[in-house]
């Protein structure tokens, strides 16, 4: 029995050792996240959480206003010629966390590094219009473009890294050094990130809590102080009745849609796409499933965007018309249309799929829902192995998205035209919009484009999801941003001390 005694002793030792870990210090503001940030180097970060946290650590040349117009962040700019932009760094926000100043050389080094194919930055294609970068003194950077692009300033919303550390091959992904309002403090344990707010040395902790119910329970228990988005609507209703909890909600820009494969023999037929558009009761889904947590969408850009289209006529919910359209396409209750709807394994997306499946069954479409893990689903969508799928565009700022998503030259791997949509009219409008230097004319072209897309229906626009911020009453001063960023943390206060 000696071995059992040793086993018990070992277990006791593990118990004692694990009891030695200590709790976090008081005064730390904690935010619950769905997932941990994966990469704190803005040259590489592509996921939403990493990008939002990188905004706190690094400063950018350019920001966007509420209408999606690029506005100065730490630099103002002038267009010297159609292919030459001069950026002048402002005086504020130029101190790096490692005590050096942010100079023009840092801007050049950051974008040179992104443009270098050896870096392998996923943002290279965004800024590849840059032919060369030159600096004039410490505060002036000249960008020379390969061809005119009036949207160019909007591409420079990537965090600026210090040139000296880029040269040294510093591991920014795990030890970020920027000039933003927050500096990196530590990763006290796997996934848990701690930042320091520079102006008052307040520490902020970001904890991954994947399960939304548990995230809510942690908030109610006081283990986290706040959370943002990714909450099932029913949990929001549950929270609404709780004392000690505040909820902020504001319209967002994240665009949910149904995508069609335009090379499929069924979904390539306009009547079938229109029938599906008329067969989905978006209002009911928004009211009952999303608990009014979204606004109906008619186009990829919201109407308040400078290039957004106002007054687009939605496809009204009309089951009779949907049935007639299906009949025109040769389908009836006796010989129903059978479609496969692909989605991820995300519970929200699966529930949405089953709702749409149920609504479409009422107009005589037998829809099979296939959910796959993200990698497989995304791969299938890019490869065009689908008839119908649902996704959302997150963080869209500039109208160059239209070329990326709808131009016939953007079929993967050349872009994100996953449905293989091809329209000479649309291609031509995109080309005209891009070549127009005047923003008023550009906006008109993009509005015309969105009208055309709504008529063609390569996508069925569903809605723009609202942003939701939930906090304990001890938290004040958080401003929820239209794009769901975490910039409000720079002003947030903890009032229980």
| Binding residues vs other proteins (CB under 8 A) | 2-3, 11, 14-15, 18-19, 21-24, 35, 38-39, 41, 44, 46, 117-118, 120, 122, 124-126, 128, 171, 173-174, 189-192, 207-211, 213-214, 217-218, 220-221, 223, 373-376, 378-380, 382-383, 404, 412-416
Query: Could you tell me the smallest distance in angstroms from the CB atom of residue 366 to other proteins?
Result: 26
Query: Could you tell me the smallest distance in angstroms from the CB atom of residue 375 to other proteins?
Result: 3
Query: Could you tell me the smallest distance in angstroms from the CB atom of residue 15 to other proteins?
Result: 7
Contact 94, 58 (CB under 8 A): no
- Output the DSSP codes for 276-296: HHHH--HHHIIIIISTT-EEE
Between 198 and 220, name the residue whose CB sits nearer to other proteins: 220
Distance separating alpha carbons of residues 366 and 335, to the nearest angstrom: 10
Query: Could you tell me the smallest distance in angstroms from the CB atom of residue 191 to other proteins?
Result: 5
Distance separating alpha carbons of residues 235 and 227, to the nearest angstrom: 13
CB atoms within 10 A of CB 137: 11
- Residue 312: exposure state from Cβ atoms within 10 A (0-12, 13-18, ≥19): middle
Between 44 and 486, name the residue whose CB sits nearer to other proteins: 44
* Beta strand ranges found along 1-101 (DSSP E): 29-33, 62-64, 70-72, 75-81, 84-89
Between 211 and 283, name the residue whose CB sits nearer to other proteins: 211
Structure token digits, residue 115: 């443009």
Structure token digits, residue 435: 């070549």
Query: Could you tell me the smallest distance in angstroms from the CB atom of residue 40 to other proteins?
Result: 9
Query: Could you tell me the smallest distance in angstroms from the CB atom of residue 214 to other proteins?
Result: 5
Distance separating alpha carbons of residues 473 and 468, to the nearest angstrom: 15
Query: Could you tell me the smallest distance in angstroms from the CB atom of residue 301 to other proteins?
Result: 18
Distance separating alpha carbons of residues 297 and 256, to the nearest angstrom: 8
Between 2 and 168, name the residue whose CB sits nearer to other proteins: 2
Alpha-carbon distance values, 128 to 118, 145, 399, 490 (Å): 14, 9, 17, 32
What radius of gyration do the chain's Cα atoms show? Answer: 25
Query: Could you tell me the smallest distance in angstroms from the CB atom of residue 306 to other proteins?
Result: 22
- For 364, residues 6+ apart whose C-beta sits below 8 A from its C-beta are 323, 326, 331, 332, 333, 336, 337
Contact 51, 224 (CB under 8 A): no
Distance separating alpha carbons of residues 108 and 209, to the nearest angstrom: 38
Between 412 and 477, name the residue whose CB sits nearer to other proteins: 412
The length of the chain, given as a count of residues: 497
Between 193 and 326, name the residue whose CB sits nearer to other proteins: 193
Query: Could you tell me the smallest distance in angstroms from the CB atom of residue 270 to other proteins?
Result: 26
Between 112 and 271, name the residue whose CB sits nearer to other proteins: 112
- For 238, residues 6+ apart whose C-beta sits below 8 A from its C-beta are 216
Query: Could you tell me the smallest distance in angstroms from the CB atom of residue 46 to other proteins?
Result: 6
Between 312 and 350, name the residue whose CB sits nearer to other proteins: 350
Peptide bond into 413 cis (omega under 30): yes
Q: CA nearest 398: which of 189, 113, 218, 156? A: 156
Between 311 and 375, name the residue whose CB sits nearer to other proteins: 375
Between 278 and 472, name the residue whose CB sits nearer to other proteins: 472
């Amino acid at each position: 029995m000696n071995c059992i005694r040793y086993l018990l002793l070992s277990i006791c030792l593990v118990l004692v050792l694990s009891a030695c870990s200590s709790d976090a210090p008081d005064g730390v503001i904690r935010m619950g996240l769905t997932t941990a940030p994966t990469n704190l180097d803005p040259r590489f970060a592509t996921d939403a959480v990493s990008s939002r946290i990188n905004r706190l650590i690094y400063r950018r040349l350019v920001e966007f206003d509420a209408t999606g117009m690029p506005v100065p962040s730490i630099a103002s700019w002038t267009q010297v010629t159609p292919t030459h932009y001069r950026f002048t760094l402002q005086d504020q926000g130029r101190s790096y966390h490692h005590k050096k100043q942010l100079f023009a050389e840092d801007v050049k080094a950051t974008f040179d590094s992104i443009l270098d194919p050896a870096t392998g930055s996923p943002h290279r294609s965004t800024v590849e219009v840059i032919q060369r970068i030159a600096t004039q003194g410490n505060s002036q950077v000249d960008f020379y473009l390969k061809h005119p692009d009036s949207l160019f300033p909007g591409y420079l919303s990537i965090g600026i890294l210090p040139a000296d550390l880029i040269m040294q091959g510093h591991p920014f992904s795990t030890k970020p050094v920027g000039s933003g309002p927050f500096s990196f403090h530590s990763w006290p344990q796997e996934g848990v990130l701690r930042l320091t707010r520079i102006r008052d040395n307040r520490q902020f902790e970001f904890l991954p809590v994947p399960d939304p119910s548990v995230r809510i329970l942690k908030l109610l228990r006081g283990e986290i102080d706040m959370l943002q988005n990714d909450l099932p609507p029913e949990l929001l209703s549950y929270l609404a009745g709780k004392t000690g909890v505040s909820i902020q909600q504001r319209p967002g820009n994240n665009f949910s849609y149904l995508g069609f494969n335009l090379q499929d023999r069924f979904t390539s037929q306009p009547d079938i796409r229109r029938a599906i558009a008329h067969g989905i009761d978006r209002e009911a889904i928004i009211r009952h499933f999303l608990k009014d947590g979204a606004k109906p969408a008619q186009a990829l850009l919201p109407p308040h965007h400078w290039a957004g289209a106002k007054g687009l006529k939605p496809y009204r919910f009309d089951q009779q018309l949907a049935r007639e359209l299906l009949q025109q396409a040769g389908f009836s209750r006796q010989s129903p249309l059978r479609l496969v709807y692909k989605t991820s394994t995300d519970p929200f997306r699966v529930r949405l799929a089953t709702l749409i499946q149920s609504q479409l069954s009422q107009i005589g479409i037998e829809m099979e829902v296939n959910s796959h893990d993200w990698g497989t689903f995304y791969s299938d969508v890019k490869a065009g192995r689908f008839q119908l799928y649902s996704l959302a565009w997150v963080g869209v700022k500039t109208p160059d998205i239209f070329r990326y998503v709808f131009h016939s030259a953007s079929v993967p791997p050349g872009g994100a035209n996953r449905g293989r949509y091809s329209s000479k009219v649309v291609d031509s409008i995109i080309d005209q919009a891009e070549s127009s230097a005047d923003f008023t004319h550009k906006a008109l072209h993009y509005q015309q484009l969105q009208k055309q897309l709504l008529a063609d229906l390569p996508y069925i626009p569903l809605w723009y999801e609202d942003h939701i911020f939930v906090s304990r009453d001890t938290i004040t001063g958080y401003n929820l941003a239209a794009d769901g960023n975490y910039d409000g943390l720079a002003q947030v206060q903890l009032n229980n001390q």
